[in-house]
Amino acid sequence: MANLVAIVGRPNVGKSTLFNRMTQSRRAIVSDVAGTTRDRQYGKCSWNGKEFSVVDTGGWVVKSDDIFEDAIRQQVKVATEEADLVLFLVDVETGVTDWDEDVAMILRRAKLPVILVANKVDNSGNAYEAAEFYRLGLGDPVCISAATGGGTGDLLDLILTKLPNNVDEAPEENIPRFAVVGRPNAGKSSLINAFIGEERNIVTDIAGTTRDSIYTRYTKFGFDFYLVDTAGIRRKNKVSEDLEFYSVMRSIRAIENSDVCILMIDATRGIEAQDMNIFQLIQKNNKSLVVVVNKWDLVQDKSQKAIDTFKNAIHNRMAPFVDFPIIFASALTKQRIFKVLETAKQVYLNRETRIGTTKLNEVMLPIIEQTPPPSTKGKYIKIKYCSQLPNTQIPSFVFYANLPQYIKEPYRRFLENKIRENWSMHGCPINVFIRQK
Grouping H, G, I as helix, E, B as strand and the rest as coil, residue 83 is coil
Percent of the chain with pLDDT over 90: 32
Q: What's phi and psi for 326, nearest 5 deg?
A: -125, 125
Task: Please give the full DSSP string across 152-164, using - where no structure is assigned.
Answer: HHHHHHHHHHHSP
Whether the pLDDT of residue 103 is over 90: the answer is: no
pLDDT of residue 119: 93
Least confident among 243-257, 337-351, 380-394: 243-257
Whether the pLDDT of residue 312 is over 50: the answer is: yes
For 392-418, the pLDDT digits (tens) are 888 999 999 998 898 999 999 999 999
Of the two residues 166 and 298, the one the predictor is more confident about is 298
Whether the pLDDT of residue 366 is over 50: the answer is: yes
Residue 310: CB partners within 8 Å, gap ≥ 6?
Answer: 267, 270, 293, 326, 328
Helix (H), strand (E) at residue 66: none
Grouping H, G, I as helix, E, B as strand and the rest as coil, residue 382 is coil
- Please give the span between the terminal C-alpha atoms of the chain, in angstroms, as a whole number: 36
Half-sphere exposure (Cβ direction) of 364: Cα atoms closer than 13 Å = 28
At residue 102's C-alpha, the angle toward residues 97 and 105, to 5°, is 125
Mean pLDDT of the chain: 80
Residue 408: CB partners within 8 Å, gap ≥ 6?
Answer: none
**Cβ contact 199:193 at 8 Å:** yes
User: What is the C-alpha to C-alpha distance for residues 119 and 133, in angstroms, rounded to an integer?
Assistant: 11
Of the two residues 156 and 24, the one the predictor is more confident about is 156
Amino acid at 2: A
pLDDT of residue 288: 93
pLDDT of residue 431: 92
Rounded CA Rg of the chain: 24
pTM: 0.65
Q: What's phi and psi for 362, nearest 5 deg?
A: -60, -40
Helix (H), strand (E) at residue 306: helix 304-318
Task: Please give the full DSSP string across 315-358, using - where no structure is assigned.
Answer: HHHHTT---S-EEE-BTTTTBTHHHHHHHHHHHHHHTT----HH
User: What is the C-alpha to C-alpha distance for residues 57 and 78, in angstroms, rounded to an integer?
Assistant: 10
Whether the pLDDT of residue 36 is over 70: the answer is: no
Whole-number Cα distances in Å, 356 to 86, 99, 271, 360, 386 = 47, 61, 39, 6, 10
pLDDT of residue 389: 94
Of the two residues 285 and 246, the one the predictor is more confident about is 285
User: What is the C-alpha to C-alpha distance for residues 6 and 159, in angstroms, rounded to an integer?
Assistant: 11
Half-sphere exposure (Cβ direction) of 170: Cα atoms closer than 13 Å = 25
Task: Please give the full DSSP string across 19-35, using - where no structure is assigned.
Answer: HHHHHT---S---SSTT
User: What is the C-alpha to C-alpha distance for residues 269 and 199, in angstroms, rounded to an integer?
Assistant: 25
Q: What's phi and psi for 174, nearest 5 deg?
A: -90, 0
Whole-number Cα distances in Å, 45 to 42, 84, 153, 259 = 10, 14, 12, 21
Least confident among 20-24, 209-213, 344-348, 415-419: 209-213
User: What is the C-alpha to C-alpha distance for residues 300 and 375, in angstroms, rounded to an integer?
Assistant: 52
Whether the pLDDT of residue 170 is over 70: the answer is: no
Beta bridge partners of 55: 6, 42
Least confident among 27-36, 90-99, 156-165, 353-362: 27-36
pLDDT of residue 291: 95
Whether the pLDDT of residue 289 is over 90: the answer is: yes
Whole-number Cα distances in Å, 226 to 128, 178, 258, 295, 420 = 53, 6, 9, 23, 28
Of the two residues 334 and 252, the one the predictor is more confident about is 334
Grouping H, G, I as helix, E, B as strand and the rest as coil, residue 433 is strand
Least Cα distance to 90 among 121, 69, 65 occurs for: 121
User: What is the C-alpha to C-alpha distance for residues 276 and 314, in angstroms, rounded to an integer?
Assistant: 10
For 270-284, the pLDDT digits (tens) are 888 778 878 888 888
Task: Please give the full DSSP string across 226-269, using - where no structure is assigned.
Answer: EEEEPPPPPPGGG--SHHHHHHHHHHHHHHHT-SEEEEEEETTT
pLDDT of residue 378: 83
pLDDT band at 176 (very low <50, low <70, confident <90, very high): confident
**Cβ contact 431:420 at 8 Å:** no
